[in-house]
Structure 1
Amino acid sequence: MSKVLIVEDEALIAMLLEEMLADRGYSVAGVATSVEEGEDMAKRLDFDAAILDVSLNGSYVFPVAERLDARGIPFVFTTGYGEAGLTEAWADRPVFTKPYDIGELTEALSQLIPASVS
């Protein structure tokens, strides 16, 4: 079963996402609600992919993205602002505008996670 890290500051969205991922066969490795917590989990937890909310209580999630990128862990961004919320450095990454379609999101995750992990 593939494990996913969720970095999301809205508790209700994180809980719904956890439930929807579980319904689709994913395991949630952890839920971070701040950049600091996300960075900590990104360096110490074992997981296959991550879902990163671009803005966490007014701070950008990009330090978490950098840590994941350095570890070679794939991720997608979610945002209420569309692709305009991303810096040029991350413009090539998948981004899902809230409210997002969970089917499209999990399809993107399945394409990012190597088949040997799933």
Structure 2
Amino acid sequence: MTECRILIVEDEWLVAEEHRTILEEAGFAIVGPAPSVARAKKLIESEAISAAVLDIGLGSETSAALIPLLAERGIPFVFVSGYTASDVPEDLRHHKMLSKPVWAAALVEAVRNMLGVQPTSLAEQQDSGAVPTQREAR
């Protein structure tokens, strides 16, 4: 696989590190993690990014502010959030969203789908050890 660089935007350090580990084990290069909108903007403007994994709530701000910048650069993204469906701002509900804690296989599959990468089946990846079976972000 050519190097796919995934931006992680997450303000909880342990969750960000878990996402980093999951995606690195699946063969992706990681940009960040960025704990804030300001840091994420700097990375988007200065780094080559293939796709992004965004937490919605980043302290007192939301990652929704990044959507125009990502769209301008053609960078697909997925939200990974602890928000319940009713807590998600209405204007964000049409975007792909995974719930925390996220299963490793679901996160990897979402990123692969964004990038149009169709590897062997997830079951085969899990059997090979390329994708952990049930690591949960906390």
Task: State the TM-score, normalizing by the size of structure 1.
Answer: 0.89
Q: Deviations over 1:25-52 (max 9, x none)?
A: 1110221101111111122210100000
Contact 1:53 1:61 in 2 (8 A): yes
1:19 corresponds in structure 2 to 21
Q: How far apart, CA to CA, are the structure 1 residues paired with 2:83 and 2:68?
A: 20
Q: Which has the larger radius of gyration?
A: 2
After TM superposition, give the deviation of residue 90 of structure 1 in Å: 2.6
Q: SS where residue 75 of structure 2 aligns?
A: coil
Contact 2:22 2:108 in 1 (8 A): no
2:35 corresponds in structure 1 to 33
Unaligned runs of 5+ in 1: none
After TM superposition, give the deviation of residue 20 of structure 1 in Å: 1.1
Equivalenced residues, count: 115
Does structure 1 residue 2 correspond to structure 2 residue 4? yes
Contact 2:50 2:75 in 1 (8 A): yes
2:97 corresponds in structure 1 to 95
Q: SS where residue 22 of structure 1 aligns?
A: helix
Contact 1:54 1:85 in 2 (8 A): no
Tell me which amino acid in the other structure corresponds to 1:100: V
Q: How far apart, CA to CA, are the structure 2 residues paired with 1:40 and 1:83?
A: 29
Q: How far apart, CA to CA, are the structure 1 residues paired with 2:87 and 2:67?
A: 14
Unaligned runs of 5+ in 2: 118-138
Greater strand proportion: 1
Q: SS where residue 78 of structure 1 aligns?
A: strand
After TM superposition, give the deviation of residue 87 of structure 1 in Å: 2.9
Classify 1:4/1:11 alpha carbon distance in 2 versus 1 (closer, same or farther; 3 Å): same
Does structure 1 residue 42 correspond to structure 2 residue 44? yes
Task: State the TM-score, normalizing by the size of structure 2.
Answer: 0.77
Q: Deviations over 1:53-98 (max 9, x none)?
A: 0000121111112210121100000111133343333322111111
After TM superposition, give the deviation of residue 114 of structure 1 in Å: 3.8
Tell me which amino acid in the other structure corresponds to 2:115: I
